[in-house]
Structure 1
Amino acid sequence: MSFMPMGVGAPVPLPKTRMGRWKASKTIVKESWRLLMLDKEILWFPVISGLVTLLVYAAVGYTYFLTVLGGNFNALETLEEKGFDIVSLVFLFVLYTLSFFVVNFFQAGIMIIARARFSGRDLGFADGIAGVASKLGKLFVWSAINATVGVILAQTASRSRMLGNIVSMLLGAAWNIMTFFSLPALVLNDVSIPGAFKESASMVRRVWGETIIVVFGVGLFFGVIVGVGIIVCFVAAGIAFEVFAAETLSVLILLGVLPLFIIIVLITASALGAIFKTALYEYASTGQIPAGFSPEIVQDAISRK
């Protein structure tokens, strides 16, 4: 059964080509990077998103610590033993809602700029923000829905440590897969929240081929980079300490260079991931290969059934 998205014609026929998962993941990163270099302002979105998210966690966490725990660190142990009460769940819901909203807002900005680039237009940072601003209401409601799911999963995990964590992890993975295309549907095609969920679920059921594997491969690619960076930094710190007796330099490498390196990789990975998700959605919803991406890559990532 073929999927005909939103009234557009059948997908562009493409040659049946395959490449290895690892090679495909590297190619995806390379092609997304090429687009990122055309719109470097995209990098500001994950940077600001990360900073605002930290502020949200600090503000909500500090408020919870003072009002619910009474500024008593020992109360944390009691909370861990007894689990979440109603007030704690409300704070958790607020934290999740605000965090999801911040992440979704800035991811949406990347998607707007990326889609414009696919059609040859050059948008700036302000254009991305302006494009998202008109969808604040829907983004907030969608974030609240995700927060509700997150709270339910957190409750499930807290009921039974081992079994609860397994069930929570599986349900969370299922939810993330089913809603994989919901954000781009909300932002790029301006559909309703129920419509975005249905469209995403329909795409997942009917056009989902190797996307999970490819997206996982991209994550693994950056994981390897982080792993190599950690090893290099620890080796460099060890050499600085043992060979040159430079204790200050060793500490600087581990507490300065290493965290900065990891942050840079995470920012880049976030930006490239949003770009590629936009490319996948563009092909899944229109049948057209986004400019700048190899046909075989996008076709293999979404194999139509």
Structure 2
Amino acid sequence: MGRFRRTMDTAKASWAVLQHDRELAVLPILGALASLAVVLGIGLPIWLSTDGIDDGGSSGSEPMLWIGGIIILFAVTVITVFFNAAVVSGARERFSGGDPTISSAIKGAFSRLHVIVPWAILALTVGMIIRAIQSSDNMVARILGSLLNMAWGVLTFLVVPILVVEQTGPFRSLSRSGELLRHTWGENLIAQVGFGIIGLVAAIPGIIIIAIGASAGSAGAVIGVTIGFAWIALVSVVISTLTAIFQMALYLYATTGQVPMGFENSGISDTFHERSQGPLMRGFGGGGLGGGGFGGGRF
């Protein structure tokens, strides 16, 4: 209960940061719109062209569909990581005493594009392997896939802050996240569960609106579904932003031992024992919460 309470306190502190910088919540929306544009811009022409070919029963368009699908998945993954990095970069700017804007956050992520793209490739590859295991007809394989998916989420929880601050390549970032996991696994896991629960509870009104609309006839269904899904989408955006802010706060405290600005009363300083001080500083590069000058995108 103590860890969960600290996570809730940290969620409140993340919300306070978001209240100061509400524009950070715009970034996930931009990411969703960019992903939609990619799906429509690439997927729709391919679907229309292959639909015409397949009218005669030909399977010759299958390679085009596979290639198009992979391109779309890669582009959407890059966009997702990019805008997550933008939120994290904006949070870092706030914790350093700055005043982040949409422009500054995007510029911060763009300057890390050389490490974001390689990480997106690795994340997409691992994700496809896990999804293939989860889609198996074997029950044991599906359970294993679910466990692997959970483990991957925990292991990579601090990768994006590492990409933003340390600017290391995908394998070094993954290793570094695993290194930090040994000291933050409790907060890491409970945070993900805690934010998930918060999101689920906050989404209940939207679910209720959809259910009421669906039982009110065709016109009511359209209105109810529209409002309900809009509410759920808003909750998703807020939770995504709060999670990114929390990730940056957790990373900064884990690597510097300094409580990030705005988290002084969140209890975050109680989440680590003295054993976390020292080895976590290795490779950070100094400079405190606002430090820069980290190495290039090494693999």
* TM-score normalised over the length of structure 1: 0.77
Aligned AA for 2:92?
Answer: R
The aligned residue for residue 292 of structure 1 is 262
C-alpha distance in 2 between matches for 1:106 and 1:295: 28
Contact kept, 8 Å, 1:153 with 1:172, in 2: the verdict is: yes
Residues 276 and 56 of structure 1: CA distance in aligned 2, closer, same or farther (over 3 Å): same
CA shift at 1:216, angstroms?
Answer: 0.8
CA shift at 1:31, angstroms?
Answer: 1.5
Q: Percent identity?
A: 29
| Superposition RMSD in Å | 3.0
Deviations 1:123-150 (A, max 9, x none): 2111111112222122111111111112
C-alpha distance in 2 between matches for 1:67 and 1:157: 31
Aligned AA for 1:133?
Answer: F
Contact kept, 8 Å, 1:210 with 1:302, in 2: the verdict is: no
1:97 aligns with 2:74: yes
Q: What residue ranges of structure 2 are gaps of 5+ in the alignment?
A: 277-299
CA shift at 1:158, angstroms?
Answer: 4.0
Contact kept, 8 Å, 2:46 with 2:64, in 1: the verdict is: no
CA shift at 1:50, angstroms?
Answer: 0.9
C-alpha distance in 2 between matches for 1:182 and 1:61: 29
Contact kept, 8 Å, 1:25 with 1:215, in 2: the verdict is: no
Aligned residue runs from structure 1 range 13-92, under 5 A: 19=2, 21=4, 23-66=5-48, 72=54, 90-92=67-69
Aligned residue runs from structure 1 range 227-246, under 5 A: 227-232=204-209, 234-235=211-212, 241=216
CA shift at 1:51, angstroms?
Answer: 1.0
The equivalent position to 1:256 in structure 2, one of 199, 202, 226, is 226
The aligned residue for residue 148 of structure 1 is 125
C-alpha distance in 2 between matches for 1:105 and 1:214: 22
C-alpha distance in 2 between matches for 1:257 and 1:179: 34
The aligned residue for residue 282 of structure 1 is 252
For residue 15 of structure 2, give the secondary structure of its aligned residue in structure 1.
helix
CA shift at 1:232, angstroms?
Answer: 4.9
Deviations 1:12-43 (A, max 9, x none): xxxxxx7362x444433321111111111101
* TM-score normalised over the length of structure 2: 0.79
User: Number of residues paired by the alignment?
Assistant: 272
Contact kept, 8 Å, 1:56 with 1:99, in 2: the verdict is: yes
Residues 158 and 259 of structure 1: CA distance in aligned 2, closer, same or farther (over 3 Å): closer
Does 1 or 2 have the higher relative contact order (CA < 8 Å, sep 6+)? 1
Contact kept, 8 Å, 2:206 with 2:228, in 1: the verdict is: yes
C-alpha distance in 2 between matches for 1:27 and 1:291: 14
Aligned AA for 1:34?
Answer: A
Q: What residue ranges of structure 1 are gaps of 5+ in the alignment?
A: 1-17, 79-84
The equivalent position to 2:107 in structure 1, one of 94, 119, 130, is 130
